[in-house]
């Protein structure tokens, strides 16, 4: 029995998907008895379809796929939210299962789409939406289902991880690292989604929803990017036995769920500290299994297309066997999201201040007023005219108190001479 597939989108991942199918179609048939047939291809341009031999089934109108009753499965790879939602919703309503790599859509409107999939008794799969080629959605929904997950965190954006690796190992500025990332094709001309943490925020919303069985959307996630980091901050972290990573963190406690993305100092002994370049990793802690880490390439046509194809083959098996997905949406709990202001952790704070008597005493008084205990204070770097960089590391403190300290130090007369830096510390 052939399974008929309609593909929407022939960009980097769409091309990769078609190339994998061309290379391994006979293997899939021989090993898994799955005969995948791409019977419709839709895109804004026909060049890829023509190049790969699909010109006779090409269309510019995705409705041709939705209205084709012979198509069993739709693969959506156009990205974005609004148009992609219309395509996926239309396919589900037409009784077709769907595979997508669309993290933004799943993080914002996944609940609606899962409801449609359930209503029409079809499947919605999205493995490639988080870790590219890293299998993480499937393991969390199947192999780890017997665990209560207390924490899921990771490096889930290859662009920023590459940039931070360059900054740390080559002593480059943010702008220099970004330029190299753009030259290599890792960063877009507008890198905002990556460097401001929005890409990672969508991914941790998806992972946390699965890990904690509660609906978490993109708007629930605190996101801070890497634009403000300097080589001085990375050097200071190294001297203290840490490295700096843009971490996406979801953590369960008795009070609810923490879900956040920001630059984070982690000990160099931690498994995530060894993840460099464009590689991604997701770290999961379960009550039965303990600590696990999933590691691999997080981007690129081959990695993402591999995850898409894995979902397509799994859905095709269910279609052939006339069975529904074994595990659908699991977000049946309603756990509170802990406000970022209530976060409690350690903090690294760097202040460029006037080099004059009384400044440190005034700053220490501000910390004391807000009950923030200082673990260490040092002067970093060389004196620039009359300005020095003063670095504080705190004991455990509350976010709202730290923010109050930063605000009041900024208001001290003849004190601050630049923008302060703040990095949260995870031990």
- How many Å apart are CA 103 and CA 205, to the nearest integer? 9
Residue 203 annotated in active site: yes
Q: Which of 96, 141, 203, 245 is catalytic?
A: 203
CB atoms closer than 10 angstroms to residue 63? 12
Whose CA is closest to 159, among 16, 279, 293, 78?
279
- How many Å apart are CA 241 and CA 393, to the nearest integer? 13
Q: Report, as residue numbers or ranges, the catalytic residues.
A: 203
């Amino acid at each position: 029995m052939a399974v008929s597939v309609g593909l929407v989108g022939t960009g980097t991942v769409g091309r990769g998907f078609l190339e994998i199918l061309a290379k391994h179609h006979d293997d899939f048939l021989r090993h898994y008895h799955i005969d995948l047939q791409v019977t419709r291809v839709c895109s804004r341009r026909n060049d890829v379809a023509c190049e790969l031999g699909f010109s006779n089934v090409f269309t510019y109108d995705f409705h041709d796929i939705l209205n084709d009753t012979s198509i069993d499965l739709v693969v959506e790879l156009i990205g974005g939210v609004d148009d992609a939602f219309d395509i996926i919703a239309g396919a589900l309503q037409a009784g077709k299962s769907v595979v997508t790599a669309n993290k933004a859509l799943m993080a914002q409107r996944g609940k609606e789409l899962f409801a449609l999939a359930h209503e029409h008794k079809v499947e919605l799969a999205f493995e490639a939406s988080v870790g590219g080629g890293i299998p993480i959605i499937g393991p969390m929904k199947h192999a780890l289902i017997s665990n209560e997950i207390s924490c899921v965190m990771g490096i889930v954006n290859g662009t920023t991880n590459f940039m931070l690796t360059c900054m740390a190992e080559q002593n480059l500025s943010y702008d220099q690292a970004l330029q190299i990332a753009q030259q290599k094709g890792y960063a877009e001309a507008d890198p905002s989604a990556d460097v401001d943490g929005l890409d990672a925020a969508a991914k941790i919303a998806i992972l946390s929803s699965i890990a904690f069985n509660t609906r978490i959307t993109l708007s629930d996630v605190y996101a801070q990017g890497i634009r403000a980091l300097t080589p001085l901050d990375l050097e200071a972290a190294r001297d203290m036995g840490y490295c700096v990573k843009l971490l996406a963190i979801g953590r369960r406690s008795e009070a609810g769920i923490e879900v956040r993305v920001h630059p984070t100092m982690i000990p160099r002994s931690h498994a995530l500290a060894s993840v460099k370049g464009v590689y991604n990793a997701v770290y999961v802690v379960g009550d039965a299994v303990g600590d696990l880490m999933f590691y691999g390439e997080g981007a690129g046509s081959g990695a993402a297309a591999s995850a898409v194809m894995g979902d397509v083959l799994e859905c095709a098996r269910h279609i052939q066997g006339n069975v529904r997905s074994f595990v659908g949406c699991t977000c049946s709990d309603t756990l509170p999201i802990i406000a970022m202001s209530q976060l409690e952790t350690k903090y690294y704070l760097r202040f460029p201040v006037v080099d004059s008597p009384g400044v440190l005493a005034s700053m220490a008084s501000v910390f004391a007023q807000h009950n923030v205990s200082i673990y260490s204070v040092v002067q970093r770097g060389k004196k620039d005219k009359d300005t020095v960089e003063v670095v504080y590391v705190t004991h455990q403190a509350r976010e709202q108190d730290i923010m109050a300290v930063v605000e009041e130090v900024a208001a001290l007369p003849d004190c601050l001479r630049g923008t302060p830096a703040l990095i949260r510390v995870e031990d």
